[in-house]
Structure 1
Amino acid sequence: MSENPVRRRAPGMSPEERRAMIIAAALPLVAEYGTAVTTSKIARAAGIGEATVFRVFADKDELLDACMAEAMRPDHVVTELASIPLDQPLADRLAEAADALGAHLARMGTVAGALHSSGHRSGERGARPQPGSREASMELIGDAIADLLEPDEAALRLPAAQVSKVFLSLLFTRSTVLPTSQLVEVFLHGAIKEEEPA
């Protein structure tokens, strides 16, 4: 007589882990569908039942607000910036940083645009970002850029922290007029060509 194997359930997730998993599954759908995304579609993408979504989020609006907050979090881009090798030339480090920041801004813009254009006003029901959160995000990103500049600080006209702020202001007001490599070149060396020695 064979024994029936005892089935064990996978270890349960904490509410925070389940929340993070649902948001991760929802983000690409929110970016694509905006508020038209259904909680059943999000649940399928997360591999859970729809009722599980509502054990973690009071309603769909709270989930959409959480997706917007996740898209705006700076820690993903700060991790990318910290992974840029410091032994590369400064121009290469800054070009990688500009691309990482561009991708971060694009993700934020995609999610915000999808939600806004489909009628969702993030934070209307009290989930507004904490005062100073934008400033705190900018400080984290600025510190990560300053870390990339530090190996070359002796060659900079200003301290790395100030150069970082100038670089970020350039990137955040940037249009697609220049490719990243040219933007970094102008930032590092100015707009005036060096005169050829006679």
Structure 2
Amino acid sequence: MTTAKIARAAGIGEGTIFRVFDDKDALPAACTAEAARPDTTVAHLESISPDQPLAARLAEAAETMRGHMTRMGAVAGTLAAAGRLERPAPGKPGKETRSPDREAGLAAPRAALAALFEPEQDGLRLAPERLADAFQMLLMAAGRPGTPTPDDGGAGGSLPARRAHRR
């Protein structure tokens, strides 16, 4: 990965990169940080109408969150393929290993998701914040659409597609 290729892909002059970044190594970190920023995702979640039925709100939220995770995965995949993805060192046993940056990046979308549950809170068994946390973790655990999962024999695709395939 050369600065010339990066500049060409970005449609800018190579010198522009060094006016913004101290060196080539600062660029992958900036790409990762930008992809992980939840601002646009949170704005979209906050724009979902609370007048829709809960199922419709959650379906739209799921698509929004999947888009965000897909963008983060694309950046991480590109950096990994170029040998530039920095992974945190494994934590010591018994020590908290969650990154404060990661937690901060999850908190804003989680709050926006909780707001989607709030109009229904009188009929819910759990608090909106707890449901938002579970919803967010479920989406993250499900992975990107089309990625193989252990239960589908590597077929990938959506759950309805996998069920139809089994029939």
- Interval of TM-score (by shorter of Structure 1 and Structure 2): 0.7 to 0.9
Flag the 1:93–1:81 CA change in 2: closer, same or farther, 3 A. Answer: same
**Scaled by the length of structure 2, what TM-score is found?**
0.73
Distance in 2 (CA, whole Å) between partners of 1:169 and 1:48 is 38
SS of residue matched to 1:79: helix
1:93-132 to structure 2, matched below 5 A, reads 93-122=57-86, 131-132=99-100
Q: Which residue in 2 is equivalent to 1:144?
A: 112
Distance in 1 (CA, whole Å) between partners of 2:141 and 2:65 is 12
**Scaled by the length of structure 1, what TM-score is found?**
0.63
SS of residue matched to 1:173: helix
Shift, 1:121, TM fit: 3.1
Unpaired runs of 5+ in structure 1?
Answer: 1-35, 125-130, 180-198
Structure 2 residue 57 is matched with structure 1 residue 76:
no
Distance in 2 (CA, whole Å) between partners of 1:109 and 1:84 is 24
Number of corresponding residues: 138
Assess if the C-alpha contact under 8 Å between 1:40 and 1:50 holds in 2: yes
Moved more, 96-105 or 50-59: 50-59
- How big is the alpha-carbon RMSD for the aligned residues of Structure 1 and Structure 2? 2.2
Flag the 1:91–1:73 CA change in 2: closer, same or farther, 3 A. Answer: same
Shift, 1:133, TM fit: 1.2
- 1:66-90 deviation digits (Å, cap 9, x = unpaired): 0111111112211111111111110
Assess if the C-alpha contact under 8 Å between 2:76 and 2:85 holds in 1: no
Rg larger in structure: 1
- 1:84-113 deviation digits (Å, cap 9, x = unpaired): 111111000000000111111111111101
Which of 130, 137, 141 is equivalent to 1:162? Answer: 130
Assess if the C-alpha contact under 8 Å between 1:68 and 1:122 holds in 2: no
